[in-house]
């Protein structure tokens, strides 16, 4: 596969209308955006903070996300940095639910697993 070629998945096929394909990077961006919406998530591993994403664009968001799609079933792996002082289990459950819902609602693919690896904890600097 060349540098510019991405893995794509057919999410709809209709012989009258044609087919709809989605790039795995798009699924990864959806997952990353959903994860970043959860309070307590500081950034994606690879430092894709909200501010950085607005400057560098959405591609930076997919760096901490790995997506595998097999026959319409998605497995997502996320590497996250969390904010200090939040309950890790609560945040992870919210991220898993939000990522699963976002991918399924937007693509129609079925999410089997959302695996999370905590890469770090952001400790606030004292004033």
pLDDT in tens, 16-68: 888 888 888 889 989 999 999 999 999 888 655 555 555 555 555 667 899 99
In a domain, 2, yes or no: no
Q: What one-character DSSP code corresponds to residue 62?
A: G
In-domain check, residue 3: no
Answer whether residue 104 is part of any domain: yes
pTM for the model: 0.81
* Residue 34 lies in domain: 8-122
| pLDDT computed for residue 4 by the predictor | 44
Looking at the domain assignment, is residue 35 inside a domain? yes
Q: How confident is the model at residue 104 (pLDDT cuts 50, 70, 90)?
A: very high
Question: Tokens 């893995």 — which residue?
Answer: 7
In the chain, the DSSP E strands lie at 8-14, 18-23, 41-44, 65-70, 73-83, 110-122
Q: What is the mean pLDDT of the chain?
A: 84
Our count of domains for the chain comes to 1
């Amino acid at each position: 596969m060349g540098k510019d070629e991405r893995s794509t998945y057919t999410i709809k096929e209709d012989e009258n209308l044609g087919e709809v394909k989605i790039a795995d990077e798009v699924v990864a961006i959806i997952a990353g955006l959903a994860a970043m919406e959860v309070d307590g998530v500081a950034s994606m591993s690879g430092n894709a903070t909200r501010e950085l994403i607005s400057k560098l664009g959405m591609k930076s968001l997919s760096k901490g996300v790995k997506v595998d799609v097999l026959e319409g079933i998605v497995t997502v792996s996320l590497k996250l940095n969390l904010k200090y002082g939040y309950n890790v289990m609560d945040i992870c459950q919210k991220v898993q639910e939000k990522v699963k819902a976002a991918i399924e609602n937007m693509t129609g693919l079925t999410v089997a697993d959302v695996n999370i690896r905590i890469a770090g904890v952001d400790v606030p600097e004292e004033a």
